[in-house]
Amino acid sequence: MSKNILNAPEGMKSYLPKEALKFYEIRDRISRVFQNWGYEPVITPVLEYYESLLTGMEQNTQKEFYKLIDYDGNILSLRPEMTAPIARTVVNRREELSLPLRLSYFAPVFRYDNPQEGKNREIFQMGLEFIGGNSFGDAEAIITAIEAIKSTGIEKFKLDLNHIGFLEGIVEELPLKGLQEKKLKEYLGRKDFVGLRNYLDNIGLKQKEIIAQLPLLRGGIDILNKADDLASTEASRKAVEKLKDIYEYLESYKVEDYVNFDFSLIRGLNYYTGMIFEGFTENLGYTICGGGRYDNLIEQYGGQKTPAVGFALGIQRIALALDYKGTSSIDGVVLLTEKTRSQALKLARRLHRKDYNIIIEENNRSRDELIKLAHQKNAAKIISIRETKSQKEAAEIEVLDTNSETAEKVVLKEGWEKKVWGK
C-alpha cells in the first residue's frame, strides 16, 4: 500500500479524543475570556486568493504558503494567519459592519514550514482583532492575551513588548543605503548578535553603538527610562511614551507583572505599525502567542485608514505547555437488548433531555468488559433494564456503579436521576 494512503501529510495529524478534548477545553476557557471582553466570533474561508493574502505581507514569507490553482486558473492559498483574511472581510463587508469591531476566531491556519515538535503545518489559532479602536486598544489586546493565557492554567508566562517606532526612529537617523536597513532588522529579529556586530563592522557604520545597545535594552519598566535616554528622534521618543502609557493601563488592571520590554523584538510579519508583543512560557521552547498594532492594513485592502490591533494564540503549543489531560464526560451507559430496546431508548431520551451524557450499547459483553468500557469513557454508571412483557416505559432499572462495582435496583420515580448521579 502506498504510504500516502495511510499517512497524514507532513506536519499535519489527526488528533484523537484525548488531545482533541484538551484543545476544546483550552478553546472554551479562552472563549469565555474573549466573551467577557465583548469579542464576537467571525468565520472566514480556509481558502483565499493568494494575491489577497499577500497584501501587507513580506516577500520572504511567500514560500510558507500552500498554493493551489483552481479550474479557472486563479491561484488560491490556504490562509497562513487570520489577520489578513479578517481585514479583507471587514473592508469587503463594511456596509454591514460598524466600528469599533471586536472580532474573535478559532481557526486552523496553514504554513508550509519545516515540521518539528510544536511546529505543525496546520496550526489551530485563537485570537482577536480590535478594529477601529481607541487609544486603549493596545492595552486591551495585551490584557486579553494575558487573561486568555491565564485562563488555560498556564501560570509562569511572560509577554515581551516593543514598539516598532523605536527602531524606526533610530534607523531614520542612520546613513543606511538600500537593503542595509532590512539586513539590520533581520539580524536583530533573529537575535543574531554575532552577525549584527560583523555586519555593522562591515558597512563601517559610525553610529553602530546605538544599534549594538539594542539587544541589551530588555527588562522591566526601568528599561523604558534607559530607552528614553537613547532615543534621539521624535519617533523613538513617541514609541517609548506609548509603551509607558500602555504600562500604566496594565498596572491599573494589575497584570503588569506579566510583561517585559524588549527593544530588539521584531515580528516576522511586516504589517505592524506600532506596539508588538510575543508571549512565551517556561519549559516550552516556542512562543505561544504574538500580535501587535497594524494601522495600515485596512487601508491596503482598499478601506479607509483604520487603527487596528490584534493577536493570536497557538492552541497546540499551549496544550504542550499544560499537563492536564482531556477527559471524557460521559455520565452513563444504557444497555439495550433485543427485548428492551424500546424502553432503553425511551430512558436514554429522557436522560439526554435532562442533559446527561449517555451512550447506548448493546448488552453483549461480559460484566468485566462493560466496566472496562465504562472506565475508558469515565462513565460512572451502567444502566440495564429488566426484561418485561410490557413495551411501555421501564418502571425499574438496575444501576451498576463502575467504581464500587456494585449494582442496585432503582425505581423510576420523580428525581431518580439526581439520586443515581448525585447531580
Partner 1 sequence: MGKIKTALPKGRMMEPVLDILKKGGLIEPDFGVDVSSRELVFEDEKSGNTFLLAKPKDVPAYVEHGAADIGITGKDVIREHGKELYELLDLKIGSCRLVLAVPESSGITELKGIPEHCRIATSYPRITRQFFENRGIQVEIIKLYGSVELAPLVELSDFIVDITSTGTTLKENNLIPIAEIMSSSARLVVNSVSYRTRYERITDLINQIDNIGEED
Q: How far is the CB of 228 from partner 1 (least distance, A)?
A: 21
Q: How far is the CB of 117 from partner 1 (least distance, A)?
A: 6
Task: Identify which of residues 108 and 195 has a Cβ nearer to partner 1 in the complex.
Answer: 195
Indicate the DSSP class of residue 119: B
Contact segment (CB under 8 A) with partner 1 among 64-72, 100-108, 115-123, 384-392 equals: 115-123
Task: Identify which of residues 283 and 406 has a Cβ nearer to partner 1 in the complex.
Answer: 283
Phi, psi for 332 (deg, rounded to 5): -165, 165
Task: Identify which of residues 8 and 216 has a Cβ nearer to partner 1 in the complex.
Answer: 216
Contacts with partner 1 in 139-168 (CB under 8 A)? Answer: 158, 160
Q: How far is the CB of 216 from partner 1 (least distance, A)?
A: 7
Pairing state between β 259-262 and 157-163: parallel
Task: Identify which of residues 114 and 406 has a Cβ nearer to partner 1 in the complex.
Answer: 114
Task: Identify which of residues 136 and 286 has a Cβ nearer to partner 1 in the complex.
Answer: 286
Query: Which of 260, 270, 296, 363 is the binder for partner 1 (CB under 8 A)?
Result: 260
Q: How far is the CB of 194 from partner 1 (least distance, A)?
A: 5
Q: Which DSSP helix (H) or strand (E) runs through 213? A: helix 208-213
Our finding on whether 117 is near partner 1 (CB under 8 A) is yes
Pairing state between β 381-385 and 396-401: antiparallel
Residue type, 97: L
Is the Cβ–Cβ distance between 101 and 132 less than 8 Å? yes
Task: Identify which of residues 199 and 356 has a Cβ nearer to partner 1 in the complex.
Answer: 199
Q: 89-108 mask for partner 1 (x: CB under 8 A)?
A: --------------------
Distance in angstroms (rounded) separating the CA atoms of residues 105 and 90: 14
**Number of residues forming the site for partner 1 (CB under 8 A):** 26
Q: How far is the CB of 32 from partner 1 (least distance, A)?
A: 27
Residue type, 211: I
Contacts with partner 1 in 268-327 (CB under 8 A)? Answer: 280-287
Our finding on whether 216 is near partner 1 (CB under 8 A) is yes
Our finding on whether 368 is near partner 1 (CB under 8 A) is no
Residue type, 116: Q
Per DSSP, the chain holds a count of helices (H) and strands (E) of: 16, 17
Q: 178-207 mask for partner 1 (x: CB under 8 A)?
A: ------------xxxxxx-x----------
Q: How far is the CB of 176 from partner 1 (least distance, A)?
A: 22
Distance in angstroms (rounded) separating the CA atoms of residues 198 and 200: 5
Is the Cβ–Cβ distance between 154 and 140 less than 8 Å? no
Is residue 285 exposed (0-12), middle (13-18) or buried (19+ Cβ within 10 Å)? exposed
Query: Which of 2, 4, 14, 114 is the binder for partner 1 (CB under 8 A)?
Result: 114
Q: How far is the CB of 192 from partner 1 (least distance, A)?
A: 5
Distance in angstroms (rounded) separating the CA atoms of residues 298 and 307: 8
Q: Which residue(s) pair with 67 in the sheet?
A: 77
- Crossing angle of helices 234-252 and 222-230, in 10° steps, is 170
The Cβ of residue 221 has, within 10 Å, a number of other Cβ atoms equal to 16
Q: How far is the CB of 127 from partner 1 (least distance, A)?
A: 20
Task: Identify which of residues 250 and 347 has a Cβ nearer to partner 1 in the complex.
Answer: 250
SS3 342: helix
SS3 content of the chain, % helix, strand, coil (to 5): 40, 20, 35
Cα 145 off chain centre by: 10
Q: Which residues bind partner 1 (CB under 8 A)?
A: 114, 116-118, 158, 160, 190-195, 197, 216, 218-219, 260, 262, 280-287
